[in-house]
Structures are given as structure tokens and as C-alpha cells.
Amino acid sequence: MALPGSRLIRLSRKPASGEEAPSASELIAALPVPTLLINPEGKVADANAAAELLLNVSRTAIIGKLLDAHVHFPENIVALHQERAGSPLNAFDVHISNDRGMKLLADIAFSPIPDRAGWRILAIHAGAAAHPMGHRREQGSGARAAMGAAAMLAHEIKNPLSGISGAAQLLERKVAPEAREMTRLIRAEVDRITSLIDRMESFTDPRPLELVAENIYPVLDHARALARHGFAQNIEIKAVYDPSLPMALVHRDALAQIVLNLLKNAAEACEVRPDPVIHVVTSYRHGVSVPDKDGKGRRALPIELCIVDNGPGPAPEVADHLFEPFVSTKRSGGGLGLALVDKLVRDMGGIIQFSREGTPERTVFRLLLQRAGKEAR
């Protein structure tokens, strides 16, 4: 598996004796994602069946026509694409349409073809398929309802809990020694519930984070050191860092909590392997952007941080809901860890994605964050 962040310049393989290499058209046709091949004049040179279905237009009708005759992008995306001609462009949550009534929210990726000046591939991840390996930045009604319930529970339950704990302490002084095990059990359970309430309060905190320019590497190294001396003592944690990574616009404590949570999840997931290993990978991603909150511009997210483990990954029925509150793959989990991670990442203006990648497959949690000192677009 090529770890996230590695720069892949070209994929090539010498065909075996008597074997003919697949053509570009054959490769595009085999892709499950709607994909278009664009020539230097901006015309569609090829399209696969998934693109025909999405755009509601046949391959023969679209080939040779200008791309914007069949796919309409927002003006800011068009301007950004023209400005970065020849460079990759990835944009999340883009409203696209066409004259045949197609209107949808999608993630798009323009990728230049090496050694073919002006040629590009456009991939469109549309609708629910846009994030089988990621997470929408907006919260659904279910998440908002869960946040409201969490805030209410935190307010209504925490005070009585302190009274129960105090009463158990008083009882412990007066009961027979053989009965003290029960009072200790009461106090332990109260402490456990209080800890859960504390996490719920963090999850529902509406205050904005104060973002500053930070070198993320001291934060990553601190989190790795804590993991190595704690929950990941028997697991190898490898750092694969981009030495040229610029400062990121983050909240230091929030980032530390995010990385620790993800490292703990990764450690618990891969500890079942005979050779558990976690990679912490950083890289710089050109052309990645999301809409601003006002919807009028776009915000660049070039700082990529990945936590990769070789565990078996979550069950398919859980994978699409990992960032929702009270969803957990662990029997003892409260289901707030990844929901809190998602909230903190969004509070920093970034996004987090989940995927299973490579051969053999590995679990990847990918954070995309803002760069400090650069105008977001």
C-alpha cells in the first residue's frame, strides 16, 4: 500500500509477454466513479458508463463537446480551476448541474495526466456516494438532536451524581468491612458516568476555538510519546512526515485531543494483529477546498494528516456512521470519541474522512486542515 501523502508520479507496468496493456478508454470504463477524460481544448474525449448515468447523456453525445455544455460548476470553481491549470484540484460539497435537470451536491477531482500537457481526468463523487469513505461537514438532524439530548443530560444528571457519590462515601465509613465492596462499586460507577458526562459536555460546547498558526509536529510527537508509554506500548508507531509542511491554522489542545483519540482507536483496532503497526503521515495537498460557511467562497485545506492502522476495520454496516454520536464499534465504547473528533476538526475549519485503502487493506483516518498565513479560497 502506498501510504497517504506519498507522491505518486506515474503508475506503469511492463506487460507480460504476449499481453496487451489496457487502453485509456478501457481503464476509464472500468472505474465505478463517474469519470470524464478532458482534452486540452476543454472537450470531453471519453466518458464511462457511470458518467452517462449521472449526467443523463450518452457517451456518443458527450464526446467532442465542451465540458461546460454538460456539467455546470459554480463560478468560483471555474475560476480556481483555470488559475490552477495543470495542477490537481479537489473540491468538496460543490453544487453542480446541467441542462437536463441534474442538480446535486458532489465532490469533484480534476487530475492532470503526466506527460500529456493539458489533458485531465475529472471524477465526480455524487450524492450519498460522495462520502462512503468520508463525512459531510454539515450535521444532520439526528446529530443535532443527539447534541441537544447530550446537553440536557449533562445538566440534569451531573448534580445528582455528586450527591450519590457523597452518600456512598458516608456509607462506606459506617458499614461493615465486607459491605464496603458495594459502596466502592457505587462510587466507581458514578465516576464512570461522570466521565461520560464530561465528554458529552465537551461534545456540546458551542464556543468557537481560537485558531493560531502552529507547527503540528511537536503536537504529533507529544501524542505519539503518550501513546507509546500508555495504550500503545506493544504497537509500533511510525512517523512518515513531509519535512516541508508549513504551519497549520489550528487549536493546539484540540489537535492534540484529536490525534490521541485517533491513535487510541487505531491501537485498539490493530492490537488483534500479530504485527500491529500505526503510521502517522503528513503531506501537502494542492487544490483541496470546501465551501466557506457563508457559501460565497471556498476555503483551502492543504494540510493533510493521516492516522493509518493495519487492523481489520469496522463492520460495513457501521462504517458509514462512524462519526455519528453514540455509534461505537467497541462493546465498552460510549460512541462519543469520533463524534467529538469530528466536531473539533470542523471547529478548526477542516474535515475528517474515513477509508479502507491499499492491498492489504488498512484503515485511514484523514484530516484536512487549513494552512496558516494563506488566504482561504
In tens, the pLDDT along 272-319 reads 899 999 999 999 988 788 887 766 678 889 999 999 999 998 877 776
303/93 Cα distance (integer angstroms): 18
In percent, the amount of the chain with pLDDT more than 90 equals 23
* 13 has a pLDDT exceeding 50: no
**What CA–CA distance (Å, rounded) separates 38 from 94?**
19
CB 206 within 8 A of CB 247: no
At residue 357 the predicted structure's pLDDT band, cuts being 50, 70 and 90, is: confident
At 181 the pLDDT is: 79
pTM of the model: 0.62
Helix 337-347 × helix 252-270 angle, to 10° = 150
Pairing of strands 362-369, 351-357: antiparallel
Position 9 scores a pLDDT of 33
Is it the case that residue 332 has pLDDT exceeding 60? no
Provide the pLDDT for residue 134.
Answer: 43
pLDDT confidence tier of residue 368, bands split at 50, 70 and 90: very high
Cell of 100: 437536463
CA torsion, ordered 270, 276, 280, 281, to nearest 10 deg: -100
Q: What is the pLDDT of residue 154?
A: 64
**CA distance linking residue 343 with residue 282, whole number of Å:** 21
> pLDDT tens, 281-290?
999 988 788 8
Identify the residue with better confidence: 120 or 197: 120
Instruction: Name the band, by pLDDT with cuts 50, 70 and 90, for residue 152.
Output: low
Q: Of how many residues is the chain composed?
A: 377
Cβ atoms of residues 284 and 370 within 8 Å: no
316: nearest Cα among 277, 267, 363: 363
Q: Does position 373 have pLDDT exceeding 60, yes or no?
A: yes
Looking at residue 108, what is its pLDDT?
87
Alpha carbon separation from 13 to 10, 21, 32, 150, 371 (Å, rounded) = 10, 9, 22, 54, 36
Tens of pLDDT, residues 61-107:
889 999 888 888 888 777 777 776 777 888 887 888 887 777 778 88
pLDDT at 192 over 80: no
Alpha-helical runs (H) found in 88-215: 141-174, 180-203
The pLDDT of residue 236 is 93
